[in-house]
Structure 1
């Protein structure tokens, strides 16, 4: 260190150097924060900043003020030596709370000439610098020399990798080497580990253990014993090839996608990222609102549509054959017409006999209903119109016969088609069908519903209520009995992401809905201060426009998915028609069932009639005696 003398300016040349840096490198930034202690010399008092800026005193400001300055757009920070370490301690937590995200912020630390060089070592050793590649220390190392010091972004094992970028000579107002003071340290990561949180979810992320290091392409637990693949893994293999990094895998098989709690802890993929146990989370992560409050989302990697496979419609039972020619609404209309016509005929006969003919006959309910029933089934009836001279009666009976003819022939035609062509249950094709069927849909994690948690549409709200989460073993057993519908993803290039609890035997029992419940964009998630997000976004856009993702999807599906399952699902809606079929005894099951009901019902009523007559005779005998 050098001794401070009276010939040295009060700011030791730092003010003029800082003025140059602000004008040259901060021009494109939204605003700059200047932070010092209240006891510090007014070193920055005469600094002229032609851009928006905030001036904060660390010991007087609270967390709320720092958060507000970040929300207001602080993309660079100028710190005095006395506040630097304390600011680095809160850098991550403050930015984690912020809504606005400005990656790769600039941090400049002003070191006092009288300070010991150990402060530089303490600064460059701070763990927060892993998220701040644009870090610069202004250190007056001599009377007329200010060294501009940074740290190598990829730290070595045996030293702190301190780099003196350049030196500034205050007396001449110039730099010794005229180098860029904030070089891009991220272009070559020199094999640095990129921590990736995943679980086995084909075709997005696939992993398997390998026993030869030459077959491994990633680290796991500090050793090269894992091989990773998948449509999204391929993106990060390309990323590491471009920026010279190495993948380190964090497996989250138990909690899968996981969740984030209010205290900024969590489990699964997103929990590993929010707790900074991983740099990036990957594996069909969608643009979820809640997770966006805690993490940074990349540009969309791909589009996916979430739909369901539902049980295929089964052949309707043969006993229903007599009921199938008409729909439920039509049956209600026919029965209503039958009752109304019977009552009308009964009243008409009563009025003619008792009012016009004055014969004083009682209401004949049975004859009226039997007459209309015979008309409906195209049987002969004994028409009283033949014995009457009233034109009104003829007109009414003609209309009844016409209606009966139409209904009877329509029913006969529908029944004829049912006897030759099979009829199936109503299929579940749309979101509305799935909600109306009240069939529950299931998967292994609640993440399938994260995207629709804030929905207000009654149909979607009902689907949320009908969703169930179960382990894979339970889902497999339920699928064998077609107890649930199951969530699948419709991939962008014609394939499906299907859980491994759906095997080829089960796949043939299901078909996919023609509508998506919702669609989403798959993204990667990182902490809000991860410095590589801009580079990742740029690579995502390049890969997306290249079209290579179509090849990746085809390659991963053919390598890791069951081709029969994919084929069964993709062709599940193409049911081959058996054509006309030979009549079987089962086709008459409904008629035989109706006959059996009639015989049993008639027999039971006959027994009651016998008992009634027997009881009535005894009662009369007792009264006579």
Structure 2
């Protein structure tokens, strides 16, 4: 009996040991390959590693579980998560390893549903162990493109030693949005052979879009974007962001079509019930790939769309008319002196007039002193006129000299201050803050999109507001206390387009910052590529160049006068001419003196 048992065990070992050896040899290659890719890719980028496994065949599922266990024993350099059914994962699924035996098993995992809210492109390494691997591979790649999973590698066993790496390139010279599997690499015994000329585990598929078409949700929003109807291609897009679009399209080599949001909804609104409108709805429904045009970054929009990095900042400002703050003619005349100065001058002239009246009534006492100097002569002299009748008394002449000096000082101060006002500004200081506008009972004029943006501000809630089609046109043509609230660039463009220099005043107190960005469908395959380009655009200063090509900010700059104060060196010619004239006058004076003694000179002057 014991001999029979021993013989039976020997036969069993002969049957089982080759199976175990073959199993280890067959899957050791897969395990080594996964370890290699994980070590070289995940470790360099410090990404979280997520394992998922599913199979229709129970034997395959058992094998996958054993493979995951063996791989985990080799990985000690990354944060690892195990995706299990009915268990919610806290960490991000940045780098995902999936082990499946069919498309149904892959679809049951449904990775797209777990990352649909992501604003970046995660990575997938899928090991497919299936009998009809080609058909299953096609279905998996179609699923990936449908759900914007672009960084994907599917591993298929060619033999126990060779693993084939497949992916798809959606933009090729022959076809756009193509999901045909492409063999890009082979691993032999866990080491890449690089027989297909690539050293990248996940090749860049958006380096060149091969002229394929992208759809954008666009509308006219000058100066950022204007759509010229009689042009074609990228030439029909002009403006600050229109120029940016051309540069990006040239870099990535894509063509662009556009959809205009219906009913003039433009950017659209996110309603409390979660529904959307305008460009936001087109993006959310994936009818458009991207949208931009003074599109402000906000947390509410970022929940339904993926936003690129903000590449331009402007401000929402308050604008008032300058005309209500313009000095009247009377105010201009009295501007140089303060009220106390004017009162002092009037009191001084009152004393002079009173003294003159006393001189008339007491002619015998004061008359001889002032009889030849009238009040009108004093006023004329004060304003710079000549003195017709000079008094003979030394005391009166001394007092008159003091009067002339006093009048010269007052007159010079008045003229210089008045000249400064006329040269620089004829307007009073307008309000500086929103709070001052509210205190002055101003009504705010703005469009509805700006209102939804700033409605939570305390100053706006305390004031009245109206929504005309053009806020600046409204406050210009309607009398009353109105203040427009709108982005600063729109104000500058309006002033530049309609030549409204010196018409509006922008308050120095800014309402709120406005960060322009570009929006994509949630989890869009374009987001990472465009985000990198737009970061470069924002940091390189290119957006400022395009801004200067479309906008002239000088309309709000203070008027500059190049006339510098004259220096003595500038007056040298006048001094020279004056000296020559003095010399000529002196010579003439000498000749007149000589003419009294020289007869022929006397006859000459006669």
Q: TM-score, normalised by structure 2?
A: 0.62
| Residues 231 and 174 (structure 1), Cα distance of their counterparts in 2 relative to 1, 3 Å cut | closer
Match of 2:106 in 1: 84
Which 10-residue stretch deviates more, 470-479 or 251-260? 470-479
Matches of 1:434 and 1:42, distance apart in 2: 74
Matches of 1:472 and 1:499, distance apart in 2: 13
Runs of 5+ unmatched residues, structure 1: 219-225, 326-416, 455-459, 559-565, 575-625
Match of 2:70 in 1: 46
Matches of 2:46 and 2:82, distance apart in 1: 16
> 2:446 aligned with 1:443, yes or no?
yes
Match of 1:358 in 2: none
> 2:141 aligned with 1:124, yes or no?
yes
Match of 2:510 in 1: 516
Is the Cα contact below 8 Å between 1:203 and 1:230 reproduced in 2? yes
> 2:446 aligned with 1:428, yes or no?
no
Find the residue that maps to 2:304 and give its secondary structure: coil
Is the Cα contact below 8 Å between 2:243 and 2:546 reproduced in 1? yes
Q: Measure how far apart 1:266 and its partner are.
A: 1.7
Match of 1:137 in 2: 154
Matches of 1:133 and 1:251, distance apart in 2: 28
Is the Cα contact below 8 Å between 2:213 and 2:256 reproduced in 1? yes
CA distances 1:190-224 after superposition (whole Å, capped 9, x unpaired): 112233223211111111212xxxx4234xxxxxx
Q: Measure how far apart 1:42 and its partner are.
A: 3.8
Matches of 2:557 and 2:432, distance apart in 1: 14
| Residues 176 and 188 (structure 1), Cα distance of their counterparts in 2 relative to 1, 3 Å cut | closer
Find the residue that maps to 1:232 and give its secondary structure: helix
CA distances 1:595-624 after superposition (whole Å, capped 9, x unpaired): xxxxxxxxxxxxxxxxxxxxxxxxxxxxxx
Q: Would you tell me which structure has more strand in proportion to its own residues?
A: 1
Q: 2:459 aligns with which of 439, 452, 462?
A: 462
Match of 2:115 in 1: 95
> 2:315 aligned with 1:305, yes or no?
yes
Matches of 2:492 and 2:515, distance apart in 1: 14
Is the Cα contact below 8 Å between 1:257 and 1:447 reproduced in 2? no
| Residues 475 and 110 (structure 1), Cα distance of their counterparts in 2 relative to 1, 3 Å cut | same
| Residues 488 and 123 (structure 1), Cα distance of their counterparts in 2 relative to 1, 3 Å cut | same
> 2:202 aligned with 1:175, yes or no?
no
Find the residue that maps to 1:166 and give its secondary structure: strand
Q: Measure how far apart 1:106 and its partner are.
A: 0.6
Is the Cα contact below 8 Å between 2:121 and 2:523 reproduced in 1? yes
Find the residue that maps to 2:436 and give its secondary structure: helix
| Greater Cα radius of gyration, structure 1 or 2 | 2
Match of 1:605 in 2: none
Is the Cα contact below 8 Å between 1:280 and 1:524 reproduced in 2? yes
Q: 1:554 aligns with which of 525, 548, 551?
A: 548
Matches of 2:530 and 2:164, distance apart in 1: 33
Q: Measure how far apart 1:45 and its partner are.
A: 2.8
| Residues 15 and 545 (structure 1), Cα distance of their counterparts in 2 relative to 1, 3 Å cut | closer
CA distances 1:44-84 after superposition (whole Å, capped 9, x unpaired): 23212321111113xx226xx1xx44xx2321111233442
Match of 1:615 in 2: none
Q: Measure how far apart 1:228 and its partner are.
A: 0.7
Matches of 1:440 and 1:37, distance apart in 2: 64
Matches of 2:325 and 2:470, distance apart in 1: 29
Matches of 1:527 and 1:291, distance apart in 2: 11
Q: Measure how far apart 1:264 and its partner are.
A: 5.3
Find the residue that maps to 1:41 and give its secondary structure: helix
> 2:129 aligned with 1:112, yes or no?
yes
Q: 1:286 aligns with which of 283, 290, 296?
A: 296
Q: Measure how far apart 1:509 and its partner are.
A: 4.9
| Residues 505 and 174 (structure 1), Cα distance of their counterparts in 2 relative to 1, 3 Å cut | closer
Q: Measure how far apart 1:259 and its partner are.
A: 1.9
Is the Cα contact below 8 Å between 1:510 and 1:572 reproduced in 2? no
> What aligned pairs does 1:581-600 form with structure 2 within 5 A after superposition?
none
Is the Cα contact below 8 Å between 2:318 and 2:434 reproduced in 1? no
Matches of 2:559 and 2:298, distance apart in 1: 31
> 2:262 aligned with 1:273, yes or no?
no
CA distances 1:130-150 after superposition (whole Å, capped 9, x unpaired): 633211101113454321100
CA distances 1:122-164 after superposition (whole Å, capped 9, x unpaired): 1122264563321110111345432110001326269643210
CA root-mean-square deviation: 4.1
> What aligned pairs does 1:216-255 form with structure 2 within 5 A after superposition?
216-218=232-234, 227-252=236-261, 254-255=264-265
Q: TM-score, normalised by structure 1?
A: 0.60
Is the Cα contact below 8 Å between 1:446 and 1:469 reproduced in 2? no
Match of 1:490 in 2: 488
Match of 1:190 in 2: 210
Q: Would you tell me which structure has more helix in proportion to its own residues?
A: 2
CA distances 1:398-420 after superposition (whole Å, capped 9, x unpaired): xxxxxxxxxxxxxxxxxxx9xx9
How many residues align? The count is 436
| Residues 200 and 246 (structure 1), Cα distance of their counterparts in 2 relative to 1, 3 Å cut | same
